[in-house]
């Protein structure tokens, strides 16, 4: 993967449908301290019906297993140049799918924790019609109390934001703020709060994500 900044020349792992056979795709973004290999294990959770067997998955690896060094609530300049490089990494993977003939409106962006924050920030800062956004515990990047407004249209993109409350890394208030911004940009947003849920992905969250993905795939 060739991008500017610290995430240049990091590997990208692939699973699912082969090149030329996929009708839709998903970018999977791992959390802090994790790996592309670990998040790619989610691919099997989505391939549970006939339509989903045509999904291709790409999971880029962050340099040092971290997309950016500080909290997503830190001033943005403290997470540069890592954050910009991370966003460029996601764009590079999306463009790879587009080069394979998969339109952006058929590409899901999905991540957990730091990867969920990156997913949400990418979709908001690169507005278009996507197949969907799935954020397992994450939100838009920036300090509490700052303006999170992004310009552009998401043109009906389905967005599923799920998080525990309280969460040690992601305040529920940021999930709500992110949902509001995405709605203003034209996304169809569903936010789900899980009181007392630890920092993980539960089976209930996966079921909601599966249902969303399968529903979208039925429209293709």
Cβ neighbors of 148 (< 8 A, separation 6 or more) are 140, 142, 177, 178, 181
> Residue 131 and residue 220: Cα distance in Å, rounded?
10
Which residue segments constitute the domains of the chain, with CATH numbers given?
A: 12-217 (3.40.50.1820)
> Residue 55 and residue 23: Cα distance in Å, rounded?
6
> Residue 37 and residue 30: Cα distance in Å, rounded?
9
Q: At what angle do helices 114-125 and 172-184 cross, to 10 degrees?
A: 20
Q: How many CB atoms lie within 10 A of CB 34?
A: 18
- Helix (H, G, I), strand (E, B), or coil: what is residue 43? helix
> Residue 32 and residue 55: Cα distance in Å, rounded?
25
Which helix (H) or strand (E) element contains residue 156? none
State the sign of the Cα–Cα–Cα–Cα dihedral 139, 144, 145, 148. Answer: negative
pTM: 0.98
Cβ neighbors of 98 (< 8 A, separation 6 or more) are 104, 107
Cβ neighbors of 105 (< 8 A, separation 6 or more) are 128, 129, 130, 131
Are the C-beta atoms of 55 and 17 separated by less than 8 Å?
A: yes
Are the C-beta atoms of 109 and 157 separated by less than 8 Å?
A: no
The whole-angstrom distance between residue 14's C-alpha and the CA centroid of its chain comes to: 16
pLDDT tens by residue, the chain, 220 residues: 899 999 999 999 999 999 999 999 999 999 999 999 999 999 999 998 888 899 999 999 999 999 999 999 999 999 999 999 999 999 999 999 999 999 999 999 999 999 999 999 999 999 999 999 999 999 999 999 999 999 999 999 999 999 999 999 999 999 999 999 999 999 999 999 999 999 999 999 999 999 999 999 999 9
């Amino acid at each position: 993967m060739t991008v500017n900044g610290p995430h240049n020349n990091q590997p990208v792992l692939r699973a699912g449908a082969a090149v030329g056979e996929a009708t839709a795709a998903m970018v999977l973004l791992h959390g802090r301290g994790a790996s592309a290999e670990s998040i790619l294990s989610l691919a099997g959770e989505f391939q549970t019906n006939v339509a989903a067997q045509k999904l291709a998955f790409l999971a880029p690896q962050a340099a040092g297993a971290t997309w950016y060094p500080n909290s997503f609530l830190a001033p943005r300049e403290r997470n540069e140049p890592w954050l910009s490089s991370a966003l460029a990494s996601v764009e590079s993977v999306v463009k790879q799918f587009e080069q394979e003939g998969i339109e952006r409106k058929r590409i899901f962006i999905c991540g957990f924790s730091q990867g969920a924050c990156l997913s949400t920030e990418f979709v908001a800062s690169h507005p278009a019609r996507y197949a969907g956004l799935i954020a397992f515990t994450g939100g838009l990047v920036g300090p509490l109390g700052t303006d999170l407004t992004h310009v552009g249209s998401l043109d009906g993109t389905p967005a599923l934001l799920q998080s525990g409350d309280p969460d040690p890394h992601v305040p529920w208030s940021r999930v709500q703020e992110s949902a509001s911004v995405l709605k203003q940009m034209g996304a169809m947003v569903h936010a789900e709060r899980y009181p007392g849920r630890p920092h993980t992905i539960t089976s209930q969250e996966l079921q909601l994500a599966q249902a969303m993905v399968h529903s979208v795939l039925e429209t293709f």
